[in-house]
Copies of this chain bind each other. A is one copy, B any other.
Amino acid sequence: MSEGGPVAQDRLKSFIERIERLEEEKAALLADIKEIYSEAKGTGFDVKTMRKVISLRKMEENDRQEAEFLLDTYLSALGMLERPLAAE
């Protein structure tokens, strides 16, 4: 440990500030999203249902990716199963 003081402090400060900057952007996005829901509601749409729809679409997307990943997993697992299961 050639140095444990000011330099580390500066790095920490840098990390913190970078994160806080991104958190601000995130907060702005959340505000934007909220505004759109509000706008949609004003047009007569049901917010709860919209959230449900978006949630479902997201899940379907996840499932699709999951399926792809699973294929790899199975292929890999099959390779791994040939030997150990032979023990029986």
Q: Which residues of A contact B (CB under 8 A)?
A: 1-4, 7-8, 11-12, 15-16, 18-20, 22-23, 25-26, 29-30, 32-33, 36-37, 39-40, 43-46, 49-50, 52-54, 56-59, 63, 66, 70, 73-74, 77, 80-82, 84-88
Indicate which residue in B15, B32, B57 contacts A20 across the interface (CB closer than 8 Å). Answer: B57
Quickly give the copy total for this chain.
4
Q: Main SS of the interface on chain A? A: helix
Q: A44 to B85, alpha carbons, bound, how many Å?
A: 5
Tell me if B66 and A56 are in contact (CB < 8 A): yes
Tell me if A81 and B33 are in contact (CB < 8 A): no
Tell me if B29 and A33 are in contact (CB < 8 A): no
